[in-house]
DNA sequence: GCTCGTATTAGACCAGTCGTCTACAAGTCC
DNA sequence: GGACTTGTAGACGACTGGTCTAATACGAGC
């Protein structure tokens, strides 16, 4: 390691690559894998071609999605390494054999999990942000308030598998890391855009640089989310809202 | 703010308690543990009595500490569940059999890890904050700048096992959760204290409530730390410093 | 030197891990 | 109907996980 680099935030899904995993062993085991070539899920190509040809796709009702949903729930609760495939699949009501039909490996599955969460979240964000009848600042606020409400509904211990997976696996697995990084960049960019609109509308002081401010908001929100899990209370999210919208942004000056 | 509360942050170490772990299983396994009483490390009592009697303690040179150090490094890199005892002990140069002489369980070990990190960090904080010859605001700044410098030295992927352990295990293990919560409360309290001093010295606007502001700083810093791991760059920490000390605090008004 | 009691270690243990493999059911095309 | 592909099904294997018992190393007392 030692490097840092930034390998093109786009491309995330696809081939695994099998990053450095057990290469640290100092003593006995040494080489453990005989595989050299990357496995591929078999189903991905099929799915793509089927979609392309517009077939009704009677089968594969939602197996893949069921696995992902169960995985998201369990990983959210017990972490990625803490969740075994067996339990995920048991909850999804899907046999083991099907898993490797849809995903190349557990790591692949992790990437898919992140992409799913990211797409879902960013979509809801875009929905909120495109509500043209509300002012930019009010739209921005609604984003966070809605997430807060959701956390309130689901209990403070769920939610936000992205930072969880990020901290847990990003040090190890490059594909997961890339997916997470990409998610954050898009998120930040969206926020920056609303901030610009809010500034144009005179709702936010122009002294703030939109990109930096967006990064700060994202970081603060993430910190609040972490704190929420630690305190097991959504208080931190309220603190976030109060600080950002009552103190920080309306810097009328 | 709502809640926050403060349930006696002291007491964290000691008996484990074996919190709810597998109680969520829907299907087969169900009960997995046969133990009801808490195990105890055997060595803890000995250590205590030895220390009490002032013996030179020739044996146990630093075995426990070596395990902790190796554990902190590995857990920081691969997460708690991702780090096996075998590898930790191998790195520490300690035989596997010795582990349960010093720790009651892996969970106990996790608590010890957090307490070690917390004590170390809070101690350095107190050192910084008690430097009477510097102004409060400058002391506050030096805290974060020093940590930034350390991250710069060690690379952005290490550091901060506390939020890592927090997100990874706090959902499951009550003792770990308690230790983490305690750490944050103390941290926040320390920051709030400096803020008060800075306000008294006229360095920070009195319009801020010290406790809330401290919480915000901690959350933002935590978010920056998470982001640092994701970006694999200390840029977020710089953003933090710039925002807090150039924009947020000097709200001269 | 021998025994005894404690501090420490070696290695067995089994549950659980991810991943593979073969067998089978269902749908589609010739 | 038979040869494909797509997806389901779960047993199986090699391996590692944390845990614990049985044995060692070591120092004190006689």
Q: How many residues would you count in chain B? A: 253
Residue owning tokens 């697995």: A173
Q: For residue A44, is pLDDT > 70?
A: no
pLDDT bucket at B44, cuts 50 / 70 / 90: low
Domain boundaries, chain B: 62-102, 106-253
Cα separation, A67 vs A94, in Å, equals: 7
Cβ of B98 near strand C (under 7 Å)? The reply is yes
Q: For residue B13, is pLDDT > 50?
A: no
Cβ of A116 near strand C (under 7 Å)? The reply is no
- Average pLDDT estimate for B45-58: 43
Q: Which residues in 60-79 of chain B line strand C, with CB less than 7 A from it?
A: 60, 63
Q: Which residue of A has its CA nearest to B158?
A: A171
pLDDT of residue B40: 57
Cα separation, A214 vs A248, in Å, equals: 12
**CATH for B62-102, among 1.10.3470, 2.60.40, 1.10.10, 1.10.40?**
1.10.10
How far is it between the farthest Cα atoms of chain A? 66
Reduce the DSSP state of residue A60 to 3 states and report it.
coil
Cα separation, B86 vs A16, in Å, equals: 27
Please tell me the distance in Å from A71's CA to the nearest CA on chain B: 14
pLDDT bucket at B33, cuts 50 / 70 / 90: very low
- Average pLDDT estimate for A223-245: 92
How far is it between the farthest Cα atoms of chain B? 64
Q: For residue B185, is pLDDT > 90?
A: yes
Cα separation, A192 vs A166, in Å, equals: 22
- Dihedral sign of CA atoms B19, B21, B26, B30 in order: negative
Cα atoms in the Cβ-side hemisphere of radius 13 Å centred on A251: 17
How far in angstroms lies nucleotide C30's C1' from the CA of residue B99? 67
Cα separation, B99 vs B252, in Å, equals: 55
Prediction ipTM score: 0.78
Contact B243 A216 (CB under 8 A): yes
A62-103, CATH topology level: Arc Repressor Mutant, subunit A (1.10.10)
pLDDT bucket at B221, cuts 50 / 70 / 90: very high
Cα separation, B85 vs B106, in Å, equals: 8
pLDDT of residue A159: 65
pLDDT bucket at B43, cuts 50 / 70 / 90: low
pLDDT of residue B235: 93
Q: Tell me which DSSP letter residue B28 carries.
A: S
- Average pLDDT estimate for A9-34: 35
B106-253 shares the fold of B62-102: no
Smallest Cβ distance to A215: which of B81, B222, B239? B239
Cα separation, B190 vs B188, in Å, equals: 5
Candidate from A172-186, B34-48, B180-194 with smallest mean pLDDT? B34-48
Pick from A127-141, B52-66, B214-228 the range whose average pLDDT is largest.
Answer: B214-228
Q: What percent of chain B has pLDDT over 90?
A: 33
Average pLDDT in chain A: 76
pLDDT bucket at A49, cuts 50 / 70 / 90: very low
Q: For residue B130, is pLDDT > 50?
A: yes
Contact B222 A218 (CB under 8 A): no
B172, B14 in Cβ contact below 8 A?
no
The CATH code belonging to domain B106-253 is 1.10.357.10
pLDDT bucket at A236, cuts 50 / 70 / 90: very high
Cα separation, B230 vs B223, in Å, equals: 11
Cβ of B107 near strand D (under 7 Å)? The reply is yes
pLDDT of residue A180: 85
pLDDT of residue B188: 95
Q: For residue B5, is pLDDT > 70?
A: no
Greater confidence (A136 vs A47) lies with A136
What distance lies between CA B161 and its chain's CA centroid? 7
Cβ of A35 near strand D (under 7 Å)? The reply is no
Q: Name the residue with the least CA to C1' distance from nucleotide C8.
A: B98
Q: What percent of chain A has pLDDT over 70?
A: 72
Residue owning tokens 């005989």: A34
Contact B87 A184 (CB under 8 A): no
pLDDT of residue A199: 93
Contact B167 A167 (CB under 8 A): yes
The CATH code belonging to domain A113-253 is 1.10.357.10
Q: For residue B139, is pLDDT > 70?
A: yes
If one counts every other C-beta atom within 10 angstroms of the C-beta of residue B157, the result is 17
Greater confidence (B106 vs B57) lies with B106
Question: Which residues of chain A neighbour B229 with C-beta distances below 8 Å?
Answer: 166-167, 170-171
pLDDT of residue B180: 86
Q: For residue B3, is pLDDT > 90?
A: no
pLDDT of residue A163: 82
Helix or strand run (H / E) with residue B77: helix B63-78
Q: For residue A55, is pLDDT > 80?
A: no
If one counts every other C-beta atom within 10 angstroms of the C-beta of residue A56, the result is 6
pLDDT digits (tens, 9 = 90+) for B72-129: 988 888 888 889 999 999 998 888 889 999 998 999 999 899 889 888 889 988 998 8
pLDDT digits (tens, 9 = 90+) for A100-144: 888 888 988 988 888 888 888 899 889 988 888 899 999 999 999
Q: For residue A193, is pLDDT > 90?
A: yes
Greater confidence (A249 vs B91) lies with B91
């Amino acid at each position: 390691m030692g490097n840092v680099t930034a390998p093109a935030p786009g491309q995330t899904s696809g081939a695994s690559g099998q990053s450095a995993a057990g290469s640290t062993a100092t003593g006995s085991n040494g080489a453990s894998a005989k595989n050299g070539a990357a496995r591929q899920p078999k189903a991905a190509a099929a799915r793509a071609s089927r979609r392309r040809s517009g077939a009704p796709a009677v089968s594969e009702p939602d197996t893949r999605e069921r696995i992902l949903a169960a995985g998201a729930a369990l990983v959210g609760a017990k972490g990625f390494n803490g969740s075994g495939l067996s339990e995920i699949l048991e909850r999804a009501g899907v046999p083991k054999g099907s898993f490797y039909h849809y995903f190349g490996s557990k790591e692949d599955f992790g990437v898919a999990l992140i992409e799913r969460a990211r797409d879902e979240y960013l979509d809801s964000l875009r929905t909120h942000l495109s509500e043209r009848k509300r002012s930019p600042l009010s739209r921005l606020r609604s984003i966070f308030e809605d997430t807060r409400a959701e956390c309130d509904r689901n209990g403070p211990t769920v939610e936000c598998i992205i930072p969880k997976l990020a901290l847990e696996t990003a040090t190890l697995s490059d594909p997961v890391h890339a997916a997470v990084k990409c998610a954050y960049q898009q998120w930040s960019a969206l926020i920056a855009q609303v901030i610009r609109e809010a500034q144009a509308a005179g709702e936010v002081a122009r002294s703030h640089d939109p990109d930096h401010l967006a990064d700060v908001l994202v970081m603060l929100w993430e910190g609040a989310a972490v704190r929420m899990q630690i305190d097991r209370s959504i208080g931190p999210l309220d603190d976030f809202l109060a600080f950002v919208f009552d103190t920080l942004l309306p810097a009328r000056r």
